[in-house]
Every structure is written in structure tokens, then in C-alpha cells.
Amino acid sequence: MTTPVPAGAPDPADRRELGLRDGGQTVDDLIAQRQGLFGVEGTGDTSGFGGLRTAVVLSVPSVRPYGGWFDEVVDILAEVLEDAGIAFDDAVRKVVVDRGELTLEIAREHLVTVCQSLRDEQDLRFELSLGVSGVHYPTDAGRELHAVYHLRSITHGPRSLRLEVAVPDADPHIPSTTAVYPTHDWHERETWDFFGIVFDGHPALARIEMPDDWVGHPQRKDYPLGGIPVEYKGATVPPADERRTYR
């Protein structure tokens, strides 16, 4: 599905070959490289994009000025955290501005405090959460599982930002934020169900889509491609691993 990228700084002619964009990305930020539209090797890619090479790149920290209202929000959050006795650099590991969007990578032990500060501080007021989602990066060693939170300010709208928390597959624990955003109840259950991220303190962390006795977490990239037969209007669709292959 992905192949490692060799270490070493690429010259400008190699950037396109590696799939790197301009904007500060270097080969050190690469965690993998995908070839083709669906990551299929050999003759299995029938999309016509078999020669496409896409870099899987870690988020590159941005430098000030971030632009727009981003600097104001970061400065206010830093002040609020300092008042709570938390150093900004301890809570916020990375500030990323990309494609006009603001993302803060948060240390999991400070996630709840950051969320509460963003919600309650009158000059921030990110009172609406659009949910929690998961991402699995198998080649991002020690940071394989990511939980992503999409927050929006109605008071100071339209302002949207993203929080991201990365944890290792061997210790997939993140504090629950249901006490701050009650709607995260179902979203955290779904992220646990599909990715295996454990939200400590959740009132009832249980599967929400898959059966209770289901083994594994089916949206992880290391989950086996398989399934069960599906009947639809008299036709039977075989499991994915039993369907026709073009290899």
C-alpha cells in the first residue's frame, strides 16, 4: 500500500518525483509514499493513474505571522493556558497553517484543558464541535493513531480550527472530552469502534456501528481486506477478498 521514502534531502528536480509540495516540506517530513490512485502496485491499478506518486507528509510547523485571526487565537490561548499554569509549548506541540486552515497539535494530557479554554474564553468561544474522527498512519512510528477535533466559533464566526492528538498504537489512550462537548459521546464511540482509540473517562465507551463481538477495528489501514457476502435484490455480492482481481 505504501513504500518507505529513502532519507536524504532531495534537490528541486526530485521534489516532484517524491510528491513534495512547496511550502517547507522536506524529505525528513515524509513518512511514506503512495503510488497510483489507490496505492495498488503492478497491473492492479486500472484507474489510469498508475504513475502518480503521492507523498504522505507529516504536518510541517508554520512560522509567524500565521495570518488573519490565527495569530490572535494562538496568543489568547497561550495567555489562558499560562493563567492555568500550563506552558503553551507543553500543551501545543505544533501550530500548522495549511490551505487557509489552522490546526493545533495538542499533547493528550492537556487536551481537556485546551478544549475547555477554547470553549469558555470570551475572546475565543469555540462553542460548537463538529465531531471527532480518527486517522491511522501505520508508518508514523510512535504516533500511529490520530484523533481529530473540528471546532467552530459561532460567537466570533465564521471561525473554524482543528485540534489533532497523536498517540502510539501501543498506548492508544486519549482523555474523553464529553464533559466539554457532550456531542462527542457518539463520536468518540465511533472513533473507538473503527480505529481502536480508547477515550479514557467516556461514560459508556462501546461499539456503535459494528456488533459488540466484532474483532478488530475496520478503518485501520492494517485491517484485513475481507468481509461477508451481501445480498441485494436477488444478487449476491461476494466479500472484497473474493472478488475479481485484475492482477
User: Residue 103 sits in a domain of what CATH number?
Assistant: 3.30.460.80
Within-domain flag for 2: no
Question: Is pLDDT above 60 for 10?
Answer: no
Residue linked to cell 462501546: 206
Beta partners for residue 49, in sequence order? none
The parent domain of residue 247 ranges over 59-247
Backbone angles phi, psi at 76, to 5 degrees: -65, -40
Same domain, 32 and 109: no
**What confidence tens digit (pLDDT) does each residue in 17-33 have?**
555 555 555 555 677 77
CA angle, 192 then 227 then 247, to 5°: 120
Q: What is the pTM of this model?
A: 0.79
Residues in the chain: 247
Within-domain flag for 1: no
Same domain, 70 and 157: yes
What is the rounded CA–CA span in Å between residue 95 and residue 77? Answer: 12
| Angle separating helix axes 70-83 and 111-120, nearest 10 degrees | 120
CB 130 within 8 A of CB 157: no
- The number of folded domains in the chain is 2
Same domain, 160 and 185: yes
What is the rounded CA–CA span in Å between residue 84 and residue 180? Answer: 17
Cell numbers describing residue 231: 445480498
Residue 108, SS3 per DSSP: helix
Q: Which residue has the higher pLDDT, 155 or 47?
A: 155
